[in-house]
Structure 1
Amino acid sequence: MGSFSIWHWLIVLLIVVMVFGTKKLKNIGSDLGGAVKGFKDGMKDGQAEADANGTSNGNAAAGQVTNAAAADKSTTIDVEAKHKG
């Protein structure tokens, strides 16, 4: 009961083809392939951009912390100053 034979998978495939049709399955397959290719290209571009900037994974995280600390200092509002008037 744990594993399926080749006949079980062929019957499942036949039912899927009958329900969705070959054209829709082809479109789904090409859309999925395009999405995977786009994801891989995006990962390559991101890695190439990080290499061009001279940052590695450790340096990028440290830079983000530094930038966040600088942003916090520049947007600090003194609430008591408004009431002193």
Structure 2
Amino acid sequence: MNCSLRCAEEGADSIRVELADRRKATRLELRKRFKHFQSTGALPTDADVDVLARYVLTVAWGMAVEAQSGASRSDLHRTVKQALASWPT
């Protein structure tokens, strides 16, 4: 039984690492896109693209948790509206 628990824990670690790697890749891709938007003038050049990428993902993942917890569509739309209100212009 101890071996099974230890093996399960080792498996959980590899899953945790894989998920963290995927989140990082998503964040870096967003950062890259935001840099592109800066170069086209669609995003201010003084906007912190690292912070924006983390912000977008934090809001998205938080909204996913809220949706799974029963938040209404209206609540989620209000959250998006608030997030967009803080977007740099």
TM-score interval, smaller chain: 0.3 to 0.5
Between structure 1 and structure 2, the one with the greater Rg is 1
Query: Relative contact order (alpha carbons < 8 A, sep ≥ 6): 1 or 2 greater?
Result: 2
* TM-score normalised according to structure 1 size: 0.43
